[in-house]
């Protein structure tokens, strides 16, 4: 899913830059001015669009890093909760085992006393 979002963003940025360049070039080519002025405007617009695309890419990267950090924090919290629950279950199992051993020992003692010959 994250890869698809990254591909979508890249495709959008490429389309944005190409569309902007084509639109700017078309507008400038049809404007009544010298070729030198037109080329200068095309260069300026190209630089402007590239800077905009770089800024969008930077913002997208920052957001992706932020989302990744949030996911890492949540995963750590879930892992800690699972460890805590496992420790609780383990402690309950130990308590149950100890209680069962006590009951078994008591039952064995009662059986020995009941099976012992009477004096």
* Residue 97: per-residue pLDDT: 94
In which band, very low, low, confident or very high, does the pLDDT at 119 lie, cut at 50, 70 and 90? Answer: low
Using one digit for the tens of pLDDT, what is the confidence trace for 66-78? 999 999 999 999 9
- Which pTM value belongs to this model? 0.48
Domain boundaries, the chain: 2-113
- Does pLDDT of 1 surpass 60? no
CB 42 within 8 A of CB 24: yes
Predicted pLDDT at 118: 57
Cβ neighbours of residue 41 under 8 Å, at least 6 residues apart?
A: 24, 28, 33
Mean pLDDT of 96-105: 94
pLDDT digits (tens, 9 = 90+) for 14-33: 888 888 878 877 776 776 76
């Amino acid at each position: 899913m994250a890869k698809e979002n990254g591909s979508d963003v890249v495709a959008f940025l490429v389309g944005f830059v190409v569309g902007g360049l084509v639109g700017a070039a078309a507008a400038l080519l049809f404007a009544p001015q010298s070729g030198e002025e037109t080329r200068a405007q095309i260069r300026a617009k190209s630089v402007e669009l590239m800077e905009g695309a770089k800024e969008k890419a930077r913002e997208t990267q920052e957001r992706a890093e932020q989302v990744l950090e949030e996911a890492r924090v949540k995963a750590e919290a879930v892992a800690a909760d699972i460890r805590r629950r496992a420790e609780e279950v383990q402690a309950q199992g130990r308590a149950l085992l100890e209680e069962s051993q006590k009951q078994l020992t008591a039952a064995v003692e009662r059986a020995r006393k009941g099976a012992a010959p009477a004096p």
